[in-house]
Amino acid sequence: MPVNTPLQIDASTEATPIRPETFRLPRPGQRDPFFGLPRTTYYELENAGRIRLIRLRKRGNIRGITLIPFDQVRAYLRAMTTEVR
């Protein structure tokens, strides 16, 4: 059985899109690489109760990392496309 080296490309991985469990909130003025949405949209969706953001920070710190659940955003966007039709 051949072993894939970093230089070899497995045909099965090319057809599978990358789908992380979570991804980081985009920086101000930028959009996320998966859905193309800006960070304000994610804050608005959280305030409306559409998605739930994950915030990671050490105890006592003001700043931390905000993660966005990929599946929640995908489900929201799918629901929006079915409502429009």
pLDDT tier at 84, thresholds 50, 70, 90 = low
- Which DSSP symbol is given to 31? B
Write the pLDDT tens digit of every residue in 19-62.
899 999 999 999 999 999 999 999 999 999 999 999 999 999 99
| Residues 22/56, Cβ–Cβ less than 8 Å | no
Q: What is the mean pLDDT of residues 55-81?
A: 95
| Distance in angstroms (rounded) separating the CA atoms of residues 47 and 59 | 24
CA geometry: angle 17, 49, 68, nearest 5 deg: 35
Domain spans, the chain: 18-84
- 76's CB contacts (< 8 A; 6+ apart) are 45, 50, 51
